[in-house]
Amino acid sequence: MADETPEVGAPDAPEEAAAEAETPVAEAEAPEAAVEAEPKPAEPAPEPEPELDPEIEARFARFEAGLGDGVIDHAESHGTLVVRVRPDAWKRAAEVARADLDCDYLSFIAGMDWMPAPKTPGDEGTDTSAPVQPDTMTFGVTGSKGRFQVFAHAQSTTKHWGITLKTDVDEAAPAVDSWVSVYPGADWHERECWEMYGIDFTGHPKIRPLYLPAEFEGNPLRKDFALIAREVKPWPGLVDVEPMPGDDTPEDEGAA
């Protein structure tokens, strides 16, 4: 799959994207009218992956024709087209998806934290109920540059297809462009993402907490947010430390 290709997650992704974008942009101009038809077999995909479904490949070609060098990587994951775009092209990706792919329906926008949940030192093996996840940081389909990503899914109600878009978010100053001007329904999704991951959306009309009370601290869906109820404390070993009623009056018990 995509994560076996050497480019995935490479730090010099923008250069590659610029380099690989030259060929498809030049070729994708021509078949703009015939996008419904089969893809041209001669058209070289940026990364030739033979297992991609031709329909999905055509859909991607159509998307890439609109977005150009904003595309970093693409893959098919269980019948879904996943495209990773550059952060500065995030809003343009939505516009292209809406205009060129007829994706008029916004399904969701969500955040992603690829960091493995840290184990707290000292309680090794105490919380055995949670599944053990791998310790190394891997980045799933189409890769990622860092810890945080934002991904979204848009669909077409007429063409009956969809596209999952991903973009990397800087860990130090997490922010991407808002989609509200493209899809008004992005409003609540972005508020949720801001609240859960602390990822800011520039251009959002008014970002504020959605679910949690205003005094809540932290971003719960970040992997380093610990669930306090799961913090296991050792049992002190004493059953009843306070005196039981009747302990200080033994003569009553004797009388009874």
Partner 1 sequence: MTTTETPGFEVDPALHRTLENARVNVELDNGDMILNLGPQHPATHGTLRLVVRLDGERVVAADPVIGYMHRGYEKLSEFRTYPQITTLINRIDWLSSFANEVPFVSGAEQLMGVEAPPRAQWIRTILTELSRIATIYLFLGEMGLQVGALTPAFWGFRDRELVLNLIEGATGGRFHPNFNRIGGLKDDLPWGWISECRATMDKILKGCDDFEDVLVGNEIFEARTRGIGIIPGELGAAYGVSGANLRASGVDWDLRRDGKPYLAYPEIDFKVWTHPDGDSFARYWVRLQETREAVRMVIQLLDGLPAGSIMAKVPRIIKVPEGEVWVEVENPLGQMGYYIVSKGATGPFRVKIRSASFSNVSILPWLLRGVYVPDVITIMGSLYFILGDIDR
Partner 2 sequence: MGLVEKGVFGKKPLKPVTWLLNYSRKYSLWMFQWGLACCAIEMGAALASPRYDMMRLGVIPFPASPRQADLVVISGTVTDKMAPAIRRLYEQMPDPKYVISMGSCANCGGPYWDSYSVTKGVDQIIPVDIYVPGCPPRPEALLEAIVMLQERIQHEGIGNDELAARWRGEYVPVETDRTPVQA
Binding site for partner 1 (CB under 8 A): 1, 77-80, 82, 104-108, 110, 112-113, 117, 129-134, 138, 140-141, 151, 153, 157-158, 160, 162, 164, 180, 183-185, 187-189, 196, 205-206, 208-214, 220-221, 225, 227, 230
Report how far apart the first and last C-alpha atoms of the chain are (Å, whole number): 80
Among 228, 238, 239, 255, contact with partner 2 (rule: CB under 8 A):
228
The label of the residue with tokens 């693409």 reads 74
Q: Say what the alpha-carbon torsion angle 219, 14, 134, 81 is, to the nearest 10 degrees.
A: 90
Residues in 17-36 that interact with partner 2 by CB under 8 A: none
CB of 232 to partner 2, least distance (A): 11
Question: Of 40-48, 74-82, 165-173, 225-233, which part binds partner 2 (CB under 8 A)?
Answer: 225-233
- Reference 14, options 148, 147, 168; nearest CA is 168
- Reference 224, options 197, 251, 242; nearest CA is 197
Phi first, then psi: what are they for 21, rounded to 5°? -80, -15
CB of 51 to partner 1, least distance (A): 14
Residue 176 per-residue DSSP state: E
Assess 220 for contact with partner 2 (CB under 8 A).
yes
CB of 215 to partner 2, least distance (A): 9
Q: Which does 228 bind (CB under 5 to 8 A by kind): partner 2, partner 1, none?
A: partner 2
238 token code pair: 């004493």
Site pattern 161..200 for partner 2 (x: CB under 8 A): ----------------------------------------
The label of the residue with tokens 């979204």 reads 152
Angle, alpha carbons 57-63-66 (nearest 5°): 145
Among 132, 229, 239, 255, contact with partner 2 (rule: CB under 8 A):
229
CA distances from 86 to 15, 160, 233 (A): 11, 26, 45
Instruction: Enumerate binding residues for partner 2 (CB under 8 A).
Output: 211-213, 216, 220, 225, 227-230
